[in-house]
Amino acid sequence: MGKKATLTSLDEIMKERVFEIDKIAKFDLNEPQKNYFYETDKTVGAIWCLEPGQEVYIHSHSNVDDMWVCMEGEGTYFPDLENEIPIKQGMVLLAKPNQIHGMRNTGNSRFMFVGFAAGSLPMDITKY
């Protein structure tokens, strides 16, 4: 089966490959927070933290898929410039390249989601 990981290498593996949301997530009453926890040449991961009323502006990317996993709270997802989708904890949202997307915390408590972008990085951003 191969060589067993030593304690030192296991610590290194944990630091590089195991992430704890509660240690990464940071909220700010003044603006939404995007807390990056990893990035490679193909993917990026971040934890978004929104206080009530805060939002991630409507935008698109031409070169990546952008997936959001709702972890806490509730809000509104904007799949285009005309529609709104109510969202809550446990839902997963996907925007493929050039698909518009955005999010607003419409609840009375904090809203948190984990975002993953995969494709050709760095990703571009077109705001609407």
Structure tokens at 98: 């050039």
Structure tokens at 96: 């493929």
pLDDT band at 16 (very low <50, low <70, confident <90, very high): confident
pLDDT band at 7 (very low <50, low <70, confident <90, very high): low
Q: Running DSSP on this structure, what letter comes out for residue 84? A: -
More confidently predicted of 65 and 5: 65
For 22, phi then psi, to 5°, come to: -65, -20
pLDDT band at 3 (very low <50, low <70, confident <90, very high): low
Distance between terminal CA atoms of the chain? 52
Residue 27 above 70 pLDDT? yes
Q: What is the pLDDT of residue 111?
A: 98
Q: What is the pLDDT of residue 13?
A: 87
Q: What is the pLDDT of residue 92?
A: 98
What is the per-residue pLDDT across 77-104, written as a single tens digit (0 to 9) for each? 999 999 999 999 999 999 999 999 999 9
Spatial contact of 59 and 115, defined as CB atoms under 8 Å apart? no
Whole-structure pTM value: 0.88
pLDDT band at 42 (very low <50, low <70, confident <90, very high): very high
Structure tokens at 49: 């933290």
For 53, phi then psi, to 5°, come to: 90, -20
